[in-house]
Amino acid sequence: MPKTIDLTGKTCVIFGVANQRSIAYAIAQQVAAAGAQMAFSYQNERLKEHVEKAVAPLGSSLLVECDAIDEAQVENVYRRVGEKYGRVDMIVHSIAYAQHDDLGGAFSKTSLQGFRTALEVSAYTLVPVVSKAVPLMGEHGGSVVTLTFDAAGRVYPGYNIMGTAKSALENIVRQLAAEFGPKKVRVNAVSAGPLPTLAARSIPGFNEMRSAYETRSAMKRNVNHEEVANASLFLLSDLASGITGAVIPVDAGYSIMGL
C-alpha cells in the first residue's frame, strides 16, 4: 500500500536558513507542511531578524542563536529544543562558508586560515550538530540530512577550497553514519545541482556552472529548490529507514555523464 510522509509529532532542527531563497528554507517548507514541529538556528543577533522574517510563514517555531563552530552554542540549541519539544527527530545541516579571497583564482593560493575556516564551518560543524543531538533522539533514533555538491569529487574552477570542504563533509557523513547507526540515527547528504541562492552568487563562474548543467545533464535542465527539498524530506522520513551514509544526487543526471 502506498505511504505518505506524515511528520506529525516529530521535531526538526534546521541549521542554515538565511532567507526564503536558501535551500534550507525550501526543505523547511516541506518538513513543516508534513506536520513537524520546527526549530531554527540563527548565527548572531545581526541575522536574527532575517531568519525570523523568513520562517514566519511556516507557523510557530523556536529560534535559537547558534554559531555552530561554538559547541556550547550547539548544546544550547538542543537544550532549548528539549525544553520546548522534548525530543529531536530530524536535523538539517545547511552550513557552509569560505573567505571570499579563497574562491576564484589559483587554488594553490589558498591561505592556511582560509583552509581552516572553510573546513571548520562547512564540514566540521556537522560533527557537533549530530553528536550533541543523539541524546535527545533516544531509542527511536533520528535522521540527519546535510547538503553537498559535485565538486566534492571533481574540480569546478572557482569553487576551490569549498570543493575540499565538501569532500571532507561527505566523509564525515559516512563516519557519523557508521558511529551512530547502532543508535538508529541515519546520516545522509543530498548533492544538489547549482541552485541560485544568496551564497551561490559569491562563487566565481556560478552562471557557467548553471549553463553546463543545463546543456550536459541527462535531463538537459537544471533542478529547482523544490526537487532538492523533496529528496531531503524523503531522507528525513521513515520512508528512507534503510538508507544511511549515502550521498544522493539531485542534479538532473549531470553526475552520470561523461561528456
* Catalytic one of 78, 85, 159, 213: 159
Contact of 189 with 247, CB cutoff 8 Å: yes
Which residues of the chain form beta strands (DSSP E)?
A: 11-15, 37-42, 61-65, 90-93, 142-148, 185-192, 247-250
Question: What are the grid coordinates assigned to 176, written together?
Answer: 557519523
Contact of 3 with 239, CB cutoff 8 Å: yes
109 is an active site residue: no
* Catalytic one of 42, 78, 124, 166: 166
Question: What are the grid coordinates assigned to 121, written together?
Answer: 564551518
The number of residues in the chain equals 259
166 is an active site residue: yes
Question: What are the grid coordinates assigned to 35, written together?
Answer: 506536520
Amino acid at 10: K
By annotation, the residues acting in catalysis are: 159, 166
